[in-house]
Amino acid sequence: MRRNRTSLLALGLVAAVIALPACSPKSSSSSSSGGKDSGSQVEVFSWWTGAGEQEGLDAMVADFKSKNPGVNFINAAVSGGAGSNAKAILANRLQAKNPPDSYQRHAGL
């Protein structure tokens, strides 16, 4: 059961990292909403900090950086509480209209 859940989490995070280049603007112009250069960085929020998870995330970050050399990858991982700490922080950020560019969720929620 735990292995299936880890596999599902891995699949979700892989899908998010693969989708990031498609979401980033092709030009380096400033965004109209925040005034910052939205093409220069991407923030990925997860709770992948445990053994095995961290290595998987590091491998995906390395692949992303090799394919997107001009984009700064911000790892916004939150450890502790088996994801409960991260879920609480994410909920607060979403309510405050300050979402990360990509974030980890459980399928079906």
**Domain ranges, ordered by start, for the chain:** 2-22+39-103
* Predicted local distance difference test score (pLDDT) of residue 34: 41
pTM of the predicted structure, to 2 decimals: 0.61
Q: Can you tell me the distance from the alpha carbon of 84 to that of 106, in angstroms, rounded to the nearest whole number?
A: 12
Q: Can you tell me the distance from the alpha carbon of 50 to that of 54, in angstroms, rounded to the nearest whole number?
A: 6
* Predicted local distance difference test score (pLDDT) of residue 44: 94
Edge to edge, the sheet with strand 72-75 lists 72-75, 41-45, 102-103
Measure the CA angle with vertex 79, ends 77 and 84; round to 5°: 100
* Predicted local distance difference test score (pLDDT) of residue 6: 60
* Predicted local distance difference test score (pLDDT) of residue 81: 78
Architecture label for domain 2-22+39-103: 3-Layer(aba) Sandwich (3.40)
Two structure tokens written together for 59? 């491998």
Written as tens digits, the pLDDT of the chain (109 aa) is 555 556 655 555 555 555 555 554 443 333 333 434 456 999 999 998 988 899 999 999 999 999 999 999 999 999 887 888 999 999 999 999 999 999 988 776 6
